[in-house]
Each structure stands twice: as structure tokens, then as C-alpha cells.
Chains A and B, each alone.
Chain A
Amino acid sequence: MADLEEVRRLIEAALPGSLVIVADMTGGGDHLTVTVTASQFAGRTLIDQHRMIHAALKQKMAPLSGEIHALQIKTKTSGD
């Protein structure tokens, strides 16, 4: 299972100035939803935006061995 606060910190460190909300879908700490609002997403495709978050959480989501089994991602460029 992943530490939600650590997940938040890892994304914020990778995307300085971003607003990150991490939710635990099952209470088990391995099915997470992250909602990330970051100016760095501007002009990027959805797949690139998601890759930026995957990169931040790389060590936590390796297939099979990772702490995070399912990660739902919602990206926003501004806080609307």
C-alpha cells in the first residue's frame, strides 16, 4: 500500500506549484485517484499529462510489484 501523503508530495515535487488531491478508493491504499491541477499541463496532450504523473510515481507503480495497483488520474490545467 502507498502512503497517500507521500504520493501527493512526489507529484508536487515533479510539478512545482501544482494542486494535488489524492483519494483512496478502497481504503486499502492501492487503488488511488489523483486529481492534479498544474500549469505545466498547458499545451500537452492527455497522454503526456498522464505520463508526467506516471513518471513522478514511477517507483510506486511498477507492474505487479508496485504499491499502487490502480491509479485513476484526472488532470486540469487551471482550477476551474
Chain B
Amino acid sequence: MSLTEQQMLANIKDAIEKNKVVVFMKGTPSQPRCGFSAAVVEILNGMNVPYVGVDAIEDPRFRHVLSAHSQWPTLPQVFVDGKLIGGCDIVREMKATGELDRVVAAATR
């Protein structure tokens, strides 16, 4: 049974609201299907924080619903404390400057 786009949007909002750190990605954390998604997962795994990975390409409509909601065109998309912080480049850059550790620590404190 496939979800309607309204149900997908509800699930997206629910995941963002109920989890401090969420990554919408290609594939899953254990089986990323894109190098950029894999890079984000590797960074999050290395931080020892709980996060939820959502496969955004299992249903081709899902990423359209997600991008319309987030106003962000590409995957992965990382949300911390209900807010989009960015994709792979931003997460990498924030990790390098220490900003990522700060915002994640503040969110999961």
C-alpha cells in the first residue's frame, strides 16, 4: 500500500518534530546509496549522538514532497531540533569548524 503525498508530508513533519537529529538521505544509514549521504552518516556516527535516517528515494514522490516542504533541492538534508541545517557540504563545513558539535549538543542536551 503506498502513501498519499499528504501522508508523506505528515510523516516528514512528524519525523522532524519528534527527533532531535534527522537525516533524509539516499538509502539508509546502514546502506547509503550515495556518497554524500554516506559522508553525512559517517560524520553523525562519529559524533555518538542518536539520529534517525529516513530513506528519501524509496518512493520517487517522497523527495518532491520533502523538497517542497524544506525548500531545499538536494539530498541529503539534515535537520537538527526541527530546523534544516543543510546538506553534505554544510554539515562537513560545520563539523570542521566545531559548529555542528555545538548545535547538536545544544539540541540533545
- In B49-66, which residues have CB < 8 Å from any A CB? 60, 63-64
Picked from B71, B72, B94, the residue with its CB within 8 Å of the CB of A46 is B94
Asked if B67 CB lies within 8 Å of chain A CBs, one says yes
Asked if A72 CB lies within 8 Å of chain B CBs, one says yes
Question: What class of interface size applies to chain A in its complex with B?
Answer: 10 to 19
Picked from B36, B63, B93, the residue with its CB within 8 Å of the CB of A63 is B63
B17-34 toward A: CB 8 Å interface, digit per residue (1/0)?
000000000000000000
Chain A: minimal CB distance from B22 (Å) = 15
Asked if B86 and A70 sit within 8 Å, CB to CB, the answer is: no
Name the A residues within 8 Å of B67 (CB-CB): 63
A20-45 toward B: CB 8 Å interface, digit per residue (1/0)?
00000000000000000000000000
Asked if B85 CB lies within 8 Å of chain A CBs, one says yes
Picked from A46, A58, A71, the residue with its CB within 8 Å of the CB of B90 is A46
Asked if A71 and B93 sit within 8 Å, CB to CB, the answer is: no
Asked if A1 CB lies within 8 Å of chain B CBs, one says no
Whether A73 touches B63, Cβ cut-off 8 Å, given contacts A61-B74, A66-B73, is no
- In B84-98, which residues have CB < 8 Å from any A CB? 84-90, 93-94
Whether A47 touches B90, Cβ cut-off 8 Å, given contacts A63-B63, A64-B60, is yes
Whether A50 touches B89, Cβ cut-off 8 Å, given contacts A70-B74, A71-B74, is yes
Name the A residues within 8 Å of B88 (CB-CB): 72
Picked from A54, A64, A66, the residue with its CB within 8 Å of the CB of B72 is A54
Asked if B93 and A46 sit within 8 Å, CB to CB, the answer is: yes
Name the A residues within 8 Å of B89 (CB-CB): 50, 72-74
Q: How far is the CA of A46 from the CA of B94 in the complex (A)?
A: 9
Q: Which residues of B pack against A, CB within 8 Å?
A: 36, 60, 63-64, 67, 71-74, 84-90, 93-94
